[in-house]
Structures are given as structure tokens and as C-alpha cells.
Structure 1
Amino acid sequence: MRILLFTGKGGVGKTTLAAATAVRLAGRGRETLVVSTDPAHSLADAFGTKLTGAPALVDARLHAAHVDTRGLVDSAWDELRAQLRAVLAGAGVDELDAEELTVVPGLDELLALTEVARLARTGQWDTVVVDCGPTAETLRLLALPDAIATYLRRAFPARSVRGMVSGMGRQGWIDAVGRLATHLTELRDLLADPKVTGVRLVLTPERLVVAESKRTLAALALRDIRVDGMIANRLVPKAGMRRGPAATWLRTRRAEQDTVLAELRASTPTELRVVEHRAAEPVGLEALASLADELYGRSDPLGASTSRPPSLLQIRPEGTGYVLRVAIPLTEQSDVDLARVGDDLAITVDGMRRLVPLPAVLRRYVVADASVDGDGLVLQFAGATS
């Protein structure tokens, strides 16, 4: 079973390309589900049909659905709701009803991700293609399991509940926190497994969009989530031997786009495919199949490597200290900040922050120097602390 997550800056065409990929996979005999977690829900427009939260057959071996997070809060996730209620009650927050839970920050994204994982684990489909929201929403979505699980471990360790009063009892509350943390950790592991989950980053060949895409590559690497392919959409066609103002505009624009894509290819080993801008919007199965032919040719959409990328943290001894490499693709424009938080290293890249547990051998050392090379951050640890 494979999960493909399509994301990109709003308006770059990720929904259409996710739908086209699903059509190609189904056409090659794979049972395929394409599902939208984007609040805009334009997947139905791509197929030219109505969709609901229940997977519906839109073609042979191809189902499609929208994730209705509000409906999930009201009906489908009793167990998760109970865990949330128990954790909040144990923390001294009055019990919330289903309607109030809809305003808990991040709950919509968490439920959307949980629903995708549930659908994938039913065994009904060989591949689940996910039309995610725009990049910023996707990064929040993919960061949630790790962030909330870490918060639970830190805010509610077992020893902290001594003397706390809970209607379900101290042990029941501990169990509820543990179940919720386990659920979130399992979600996070599913996303980080390159044999299961891949991210396809959709962009248009413009400098601002490419710059955001590079930041997204770094932010996802910080989460140990693999981007196994990029798609440059809406490449203007070549003018050929044509003359006139329109042909001159096409040549100029195409030359600019080719330059941007050449710079992108030189900055990352991630596979990059291109799709030319079409005169007619690709809507419906036939148009999507034609788009998939241009995008993939004879190749398999799942053909990208599933080898595990380098470990986020790589450590080696050096002199009387150690060198820690953090494998994140950075650019000259990347804004990086480091801070020590107890036994964790807080890494912030372009506004995206993650607490990374330090290897045990480094916890008695301090960061003496930091630099950047082609493979990421290089941190020098020296001077064991008392």
C-alpha cells in the first residue's frame, strides 16, 4: 500500500495533478482512492462530478472522496474524541461536547490526517492519493502528530498526575494520554516511512514559487518526511519557428522558466517532471488521462525510489568533542536558528520549528560552532558541561 501526498502553493494545480495521477494508477490496474483534505475541495471540479465524505466510484478501480472533518468530529471519531476529552479533563479543563471540539486548534487537520490513515489501512486500495491543502496548511498538518505527541509527553508525564483529581481516576487519565500519544506517534511513523508515504511537491516555474518550494523541502526534511518528486506545472509551450509579438513573448517567458528550472535541478537531487500549460482546463476523466500521459509518459507514477533518505541526525567523534550533522537541504537564503532546550535541540528553518532529541552522548556537551554545507547543518559539540 502506498500513500502519495500532493501539495504546493495555492493555485499551482496540485488538485488537477493529483487527480491525473490517480487516473493513471487506476488505468494501470491498481485499486486507487484519491481524497481531498483541502478545505477548498476542488477535487470534484477536476472530475466534473459531485463528491462526498464517502468514497465513490468515479471510474474502474478509481474512487474519490472529500474529507469532511466537521462530520468526523460529530460522528466518526468517538474514541479520539474520548481521548481528547480525558486529557483536557485531567488538565483541569471542563469536558467539551462534540460541537465545542470543532474549535480546538489543529483538530480539523488532525482528524483529516487520521481519516486518510484509516482509509489507507482498510486494505481496499493499493494506493491512496491525497490532494492536500496549500503548502502552509500541509506543513501544519504533517507537523501535528509529532508536535502534539511531544507536547503530551512533556506536559503530562506520569509523575505529574500525582494528586490530580479526575473523574476517571488518575490511572485512567494516564492511559488516555498514553493512547492519544501512541495514536499520534503511529500517524507520524506512517508519514515518515518512505516505503509507504511519498510527497509530490507541485510548483510553477516562477522564482517566488520555486523559493517557497525549496523552503518546503527543508521543512519536510526537518520532519523526516520524504519528498520523492516535484512537478513543474504550466510550462509555456515553445514558439518554434513562429514570428510576431506572441512568439517573442513565448520565447522570452519559456527562457525565463527554463532558467528557473535549471537552477532548481542544480540545487536538489529530487526528481523533477514538467507539464506544459494547456489551452483548455483539464476537467473530466479523458482530459486527466491525457494530462497523465504527458506527465508520466510510459513510466509508473510510483516508480520513484523508496529508499530511506539519510538519517536526519548523523554523529561522529572529532578531537575531544563530536560533530553532529543535521541533514536538511538549505539554501543561501535559508533563515536558520538553533537553541538548546534541555536535552533537545530546537531547530528553526524559515519559521518551521522542531525539537530534536539529542543523542545521549551529546547531552553533556555544548554547541561550540555551527555552519552550513551542501548536506545541511554541521554542529560542533565541545566542552563537556558539569
Structure 2
Amino acid sequence: MVIDQTLEQQEIMQVVKKITKEKIMPRAAEVDRTDEFPHDLVKVLGENGLLTMCLPEKYGGIEANSSLLAMVIEELSKGLASMGTTMLSTNSVIRMVSLMARPDQLDKFYANLSSGHKLCAFCLTESHAGSDARAISTSAKKALQGGYILNGTKIFVTLSQVAEYYLVFAKTNPDEISAFLVHKDSPGLHFGKIENKMGLHGSSTGDVILEDCWVADDALIGQEGDGWRMLSEIGTSMLRSWGAAAMALGVGQCALDFAIQYAKERKQFNKRIGDFQAIRFMLADCAMQLEAARCLVRETNRRVDQEYPVISKETTAMVSMSKCLATDVAMKVTTDAVQIFGGYGYIKEYPVERLMRDAKIFQIVDGTNQVQRMIIGSILMK
């Protein structure tokens, strides 16, 4: 796809492509096999300024917008999906905190992140509260000595145990959701199990437990009750536009690239299998669907950047369309890639079975695709 990029963006993307090809792809199979968090790859991202892309320039960032972030995450996800989730989690917290935090909070937060290769985690989901964020039960109560006491358990937290900061959403009263930036060393912050997942290995997905976890008053981002606005009006639309959709595109494109290569090399009946119409049509459909999804994602991010920080209903619908279409396409393309590889596609020695397992999660995270269709339908009917 031909897209307009500034010279700076072109240079960034060249670096990202080099990292993906030379550093991430050679490690992908091992990370998938061991399911160990790849600290070495995170260090590479940090050394190249990717983890702090959203920071202001004086803190080492470039204040990256949604369009650039989506392209970077897509490219990194071609190499390994968990690199996309690492980028998404860290930069999404930076972007969301910047929406409502006070200048003194931002200075402290940004200065800490700018030193070293530090990560951020987004803590919303609970055992009984997934797509229905209002159902969370984690509580935050004012402490007598000042600050807040947090209690609750967050599950499926990406970068659990390895993050520097955790953006925790909790109820300050039964009808208010507030956001707190909790440092890893906060008393009462503990970690539970790391999940043994079907795919997305190396992402360190697990429980974050808050047991009488004390945080200072300045851990509250914005005012009490601003957490829901951060989630519903601004944050989720902004994040979905360069989150699951971009990662799904990267995984899907990688699967298609492998399928094309295999179709050129594998021979049956004295012909390349790619010379058979059945295979060519499968490849053509995959390419068309990926390109259509990519065009929608690119246009959606352009509109998000244009409207940021207040996203219109029309663009919100496009965000849900992008997330839904791109992730459905990725699942279809990776499944077809396994089919094209035949029996080898089902064997772990070949990469497409990993890509198929990785693709599935993107139809679930950031609001299931069924919920996305509900959002689209409700906007259309207003």
C-alpha cells in the first residue's frame, strides 16, 4: 500500500524493519517454544527509542501519533506478536495518562520512563468484568494518612511482573471509575500466576493483585471519576485504532508472506503448488482482504489523529470496523496459510501454526468482535 510518510517516519520504519528482520524473527520460534519474556528484544526496542515514542522530545520521545504507532506495531508484529503487545501496552499507558494528568505528574512519569527500557501495563479486566468495564469491583478508598488504598485483582494483564508502572482502573464510589498510576514498588502490589496461553507467547500475561495497596494522592490521574471518560470517550477509540488491528495486520501479512514463499517452492504433480488455480485464488483472496483491512486501518488512524483528543461518533464506528475487520481477516489468512502448507502447516517446525494461534487472540482483546459489531450497529441506528 502506498502511503504518505514524512522523511522522519520513513527513517523510523526502515529501522523497525531492520529490527524485525535481524533481531526479532530469528528469536520468534524460541520465544514461542519457551514462552519466556524476551528481555533482550525489549532492550533492542528501548535502545532504538520505540518504547518511548509517545514521550515529548525533551524526554527522548517524538510524540508519535496513532498513524505512526500503528505502522510500527504492525511491522514488529510480523516478527513476533508479543512485540506488538509490548509496544501497545507501554505506549497506550503513556498516551492515556497524558490526556488527564497534571504537569507535575507527567514530569515525574516521563522522567522515570526516559531512563532505561521501562514498560507500562494496562489493568482493567477482572474475572467478572471484560468487555463490560463498568462491572469492575476493584476499589480505591481515601486513606486517613492521605493517598488511596486499592483492593482488587486484575487478570489478563499484559506485561504483568515486568512493567514499571500499572495503570489501574478502580471504583472510588459505586458509580465512579477512576484511574491510578501505580508504581511496581507500591506496598500491597503483588502478582499472581502467569497464564499458559494458546498463543501470544512471551507476552507475560498474568494477574495483578492489589491488597491494601497504598498510593499517594498524585497517583490519581485527573479527578475522581475521570477513569470512565478516559476509557469510553477517548482512550479505547484511540488505542483500538493502533492496537489489535495493527497487530493482526502484521501477523496476517507474515502468514501470507510465508504461504507465498512455500507455494513457489513446494511441488506436486511436477508443478509448483502456486501454479494451481485453487492455491492462487486462496493467495489472491488473502492479499485482497489484508489490503482492504489495511486501507481501513490507515484511514481510521488518519481521522483519529485529525480529531484527537475528542473522537467523533463516525470515527468511533470506523475504529470498531477496523478492529473487527482486521482481526477477522488475520484469522482467515493464517488459517488459509496453514491449509496451503498442508500437513507441514500443522507442525511446529513451520511458523504458520504459531501465527494462527497468535491471530485468534486479536478477535477477543480490546473488546470482542461481537462487541465491536454492537458498537457499530448502535452508532448506525442513532
Q: One fold, TM greater than 0.5? A: no
Structure 1 length as normaliser, TM-score? 0.31
Answer 1 or 2: which has greater strand percent. 1
Answer 1 or 2: which has greater helix percent. 2
Structure 2 length as normaliser, TM-score? 0.31
